């Protein structure tokens, strides 16, 4: 008898539902044993990461995203800010619980519609991939993006891990929302990127989460070396990495670059 099908008792003729195991979904709690660890690994290999859903609501003049786990809740005055804060919260929680920043996160409105990165009905949002290629052989990513990457790695954070093989160029200092840019180091980083790409070498620009600082330097490269406008540069990056925040104030642009 196949336990996955509905069966009819020969004695009573009453149709009964066979018991089925509940589908496995990883929780945010740490694995209790080795078996749980193995189940999570198989799940991640199949789906790319654990799933999560956030309900988005308008509250006053801003937005709130709520999850079953309070560690993943987020707020924002704009949907773009909410989207970034929610991804940061989910990413941090996933890393602590699962040891990975990969996850499948969908945003829903109160009617149950899936929302895309711009707040309109669309497709589910992916989590933080290690790195994203936005231009041939040129990548942006977060702190884990260096793993398995073959090529030049430029770390633009103020803090720098001692076990990294990346070139440390602290282009940005401060905290999220209050970054300051060093134009001299930014120019040096862009020249290193250009020289490496010219000889056919891949380049990864890395920061903490690959949302603000590394995309800002990547956008500056596109403006200076590919003659794009700042908006075009960010659009190119956000097309493949929608969680990126457009931080035009971080770009040390000349008057000509700013007014294209």
pLDDT band, very low/low/confident/very high, at 236 (cuts 50, 70, 90): very high
Band the pLDDT of 172: cuts 50, 70, 90: very high
DSSP assignment of 129-165, as one string?
-SEEEEETTEEEE-TTTTTT--SEEEE--SS--TT--
Cα 109 from chain centroid (whole Å)? 20
Q: Coil, helix or strand for 125? A: strand
- pLDDT at res. 59: 84
Q: What is the DSSP letter of 70?
A: G
**In a 10 Å sphere around its CB, with 0-12 CB exposed, 13-18 middle and 19+ buried, how is residue 165 labelled?**
exposed
The pLDDT confidence band at residue 187, using thresholds 50, 70 and 90, is very high
For the chain, give the mean pLDDT: 78
What's the CATH code, domain 131-258? 3.90.190.10
* pLDDT tier for residue 201 given thresholds of 50, 70 and 90: very high
- Compute CA distances 114 → 51, 53, 123, 129, whole Å: 14, 9, 6, 20
- Give the other-Cβ count within 10 Å of 87's Cβ: 27
How do residues 86-132 score in pLDDT, each as one tens digit?
777 777 776 676 666 656 667 777 777 767 655 666 555 555 567 88
Q: Do residues 172 and 216 make contact, with C-beta atoms less than 8 angstroms apart?
A: yes
d(CA 207, CA 154): 9
Does 150 score more than 80 pLDDT?
Answer: yes
pLDDT band at 224 (very low <50, low <70, confident <90, very high): very high
Kindly tell me if the per-residue pLDDT of 250 is higher than 80: yes
**According to the model, what pLDDT value does residue 98 have?**
62
- Sequence spans of domains, the chain: 34-126, 131-258
Q: How much is the pLDDT for 16?
A: 46
Per-residue pLDDT reduced to its tens digit, 36-75: 777 666 655 554 455 567 788 888 888 888 876 666 788 8
Question: What pLDDT is stored for residue 7 in this prediction?
Answer: 46
């Amino acid at each position: 008898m196949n336990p996955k099908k509905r069966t009819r008792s020969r004695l009573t003729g009453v149709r009964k539902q066979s018991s089925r195991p509940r589908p496995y979904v990883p929780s945010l709690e740490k694995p209790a044993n080795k078996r749980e660890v193995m189940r999570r690994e198989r799940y991640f290999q199949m789906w790319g990461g654990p799933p999560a859903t956030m309900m988005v609501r308008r509250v006053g003049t801003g937005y709130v995203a709520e999850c079953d786990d309070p560690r993943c809740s987020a707020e924002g005055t704009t949907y773009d800010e909410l989207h970034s804060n929610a991804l940061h919260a989910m990413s941090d929680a996933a890393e602590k619980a699962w040891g990975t920043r990969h996850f499948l996160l969908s945003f829903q409105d109160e009617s149950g519609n899936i929302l895309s990165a711009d707040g309109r009905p669309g497709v589910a949002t992916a989590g933080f991939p290690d790195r994203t290629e936005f231009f041939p052989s040129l990548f942006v990513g977060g702190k884990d993006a260096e793993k398995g990457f073959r090529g030049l790695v430029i770390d633009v954070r103020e803090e720098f891990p001692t076990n990294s093989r990346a070139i440390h160029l602290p282009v940005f200092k401060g905290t999220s929302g209050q970054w300051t840019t060093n134009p001299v180091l930014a120019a040096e980083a862009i020249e290193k990127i250009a020289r490496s790409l010219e000889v056919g070498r891949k380049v990864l620009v890395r920061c903490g989460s690959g949302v603000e600082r590394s995309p800002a330097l990547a956008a500056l490269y596109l403006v200076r070396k590919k003659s794009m406008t700042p908006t075009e540069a960010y659009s190119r990056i956000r097309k493949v990495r929608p969680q990126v925040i457009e931080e035009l104030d971080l770009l040390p642009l000349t008057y000509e670059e700013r007014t294209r």
